[in-house]
Structure 1
Amino acid sequence: MVILIAGYPYAGRSILLQQLESMKYISRDDMPPLSVPEFIRAHGGGTAEKIAITVRTETGADAEDLRRLTAELRGSQIPFKLVFVEAGDTLLLDRNAKDGRIGETDMTALLDRLRRDLEPVRGEADLIINSNYVTPEEERNRVINLAEGRSPGESTTVEIMSFGFRYGPASGDLIMDVRFIPNPYYISSLRPLTGKDKACADYVFGFESSRETLRALTELCTIMAKAFSDQGRSSIAVRIGCTGGQHRSVAITEALAANLRSRNIPVAVLHRELD
């Protein structure tokens, strides 16, 4: 699959390309449109490899070349998707001012011209991303979902990982710190156990705060799963942390996964410190 990334200067095309690089896409930045077919042929013809290219779109001629390129790719049956990255003028001008490459007057004139020249390209795009409103990670996920053919309404998997803050933080869509729950570590009979053991889990959920937290997390993850599914996103990263990642976070993770499965929501579970 080939991902072609077009759009406006400072809209975030290169940042999106870097995100796709992190997902093992072969990448090339700022390529003239008519040079793209040779690059694709050099990397398996777009079928054996995942390829992402930001195409040069700074002139009307570039826009015309890009339209010729997409017509050629369709004729050759090379699988590709066209992504158009944009942003509001205020944000684009602010990013340019920080870079200082183009004067403000020249940048305003350039944007006025590009909005006219690139409108036909934008109209052909399979996905339009406005970087005013989404993070680079969200942009990447939307592009990958597009490449994989996911559509809104497909089930979203809730990926729940327990972890210990002692060994470093975790990143995700939802981070929950459960260190406010009394720690089984300080009960000598429970210390050797983990949150997977019934005695330890019973202790954790012997507190109203734990039970209310589980109920709230279950409802929140249910809402998020529906919203993510409507956006065509394949997964939600939920991270639950305690001090050592052995007792409280593990017990909450296991119980949350069971609750979500009972609601027919796909779940994947990982215990970072145990596994």
Structure 2
Amino acid sequence: MRFVVVTGMSGGGKRTALKLLEDAGFYCVDNLPVSLVEKFVELIAMPGSEISKVALGLDVRADQNFTDATRILEQLKEKGYKFEILFMDSDDSALIKRYKETRRVHPLAADGRVEDGIHKERKILETIRKNSDYVIDTSNLLVRELKEELDRIFVQNEEYNSLMVTVMSFGFKHGIPADADLVFDVRFLPNPYYIEELKPQTGNDKGVQDYVMSFPETGIFLDKLTDMIQFLIPNYIKEGKYRLVIAIGCTGGKHRSVTLANKLYERLKAEGHYGIKLYHRDVPREGI
């Protein structure tokens, strides 16, 4: 039997993950009182049980002590029950935005601020997060991308590393992304903006891509960048990093940076040893 405990920050996507796991064939249980967890596991693990895949949701609630949940998980482990822990996380700003949009009350905020509840919850979940088998950061993750990540881990059973790589294009004139870990400037390349037929296009269009990639220095830069990123990623994984944002910038964020971000994404995607997504921050902006 494959037994997965789904936990994490409130608003981090735990319930969405449970729904997706249910679609993948898992028998999912959420909101189970902590006092019943051990009995539930004993029942589903009985010989002859038809249930082969189970996902159990555990979260922080104002009316129960999460320490009891971690204690029970330790007891289950001591009794020989095997389980995996999936921790759904997100950065504070994304969590605050989600609570504001849904107008829900954080379980630990009571009548206080959402920020205070998030801070308390992080302290409570600190230990279980460190002991989790999988940590997925949903700060900038679409449901479709989360489904792909869960399928990779729990359906295709591929080797998992708790690292989500985001390759992002941006325009320097709109500001450097605040969440960028690595920033690369490709303004040294010839600019398609000054070619009339290419000006209204973006790096997602073949004309711009062919133009940008036609220069020898573009290929050299892409090869060197790919080589460095491929060297860094295993070391980041070893260090325990779970999110890496690679930002590639040009002047407006529509031509050169988009082309190079697309090419780098294609190369890293082919490796398939970690989660990866592509994001063009400034392409949707009006005007060039």
TM-score, scaled relative to structure 1:
0.52
Alignment correspondent of 1:4: 5
Map residues 143-158 of structure 1 onto 2, 5 A cutoff. Answer: 143-147=150-154, 150-151=158-159
CA separation in 1, counterparts of 2:84 and 2:43? 19
CA separation in 1, counterparts of 2:63 and 2:130? 15
CA separation in 1, counterparts of 2:71 and 2:27? 23
Measured at CA, do residues 64 and 221 of structure 1 come closer, stay the same or move farther in structure 2, by a change above 3 Å? closer
Measured at CA, do residues 44 and 100 of structure 1 come closer, stay the same or move farther in structure 2, by a change above 3 Å? same
CA separation in 2, counterparts of 1:47 and 1:37? 19
Residue 158 of structure 2 is aligned to residue 114 of structure 1 = no
Q: Between 128-137 and 46-55, report the one with greater CA deviation.
A: 46-55
Residue identity in the other structure for 2:43: A
CA separation in 1, counterparts of 2:70 and 2:92? 24
Measured at CA, do residues 7 and 152 of structure 1 come closer, stay the same or move farther in structure 2, by a change above 3 Å? closer
- Post-superposition Cα deviations, 1:119-159, rounded to whole Å, max 9, x if no partner, equal 01111111111111333344344445444753159xxxxxx
Alignment correspondent of 2:270: 226
Residue identity in the other structure for 1:226: A
Match of 1:227, SS state, is coil
In structure 1, stretches of 5+ residues that fail to align are 154-218, 234-275
Alignment correspondent of 2:75: 72
Distance apart, 1:223 and its partner CA: 3.9
Whichever of the two has the greater Rg, that structure is 1
Distance apart, 1:60 and its partner CA: 9.9
- Among 85, 90, 95, the alignment partner of 2:93 is 90
Residue identity in the other structure for 1:123: K
Contact 2:96–2:115, Cα closer than 8 Å, also in 1? yes
Distance apart, 1:43 and its partner CA: 2.7
Q: Percent identity?
A: 17
CA separation in 2, counterparts of 1:138 and 1:118? 25
TM-score, scaled relative to structure 2:
0.50
